[in-house]
Amino acid sequence: MDEDTNHVLLMDIKRIDSAIEKLDNICKKFDEERIDAAMTLLKIKSALENIRQVLPHMRTLLDEENNKTS
């Protein structure tokens, strides 16, 4: 895997990690009753959408790398 692809994948992993951290914080705030259910759902949907955008991008990069080595 070349350095550029490796860097992009690492950045994608950081985006996923950030989204998961955001989900954890949202759940914590909801448990502490600092935000209501509707706001919690909107924030969860937003974090999940970020993950949904990153995963296909990562898949494409990995497929391209696999095609190069095949």
Nearest to 47 by CA among 68, 17, 67: 17
Q: What angle do CA 44, 45, 49 make, to 5 degrees?
A: 120
CB 53 within 8 Å of CB 28? no
Entry pTM: 0.80
Rounded to an integer, the average pLDDT of 7-26 is: 95
Q: Per-residue pLDDT tens for 41-57? A: 999 999 999 999 999 99
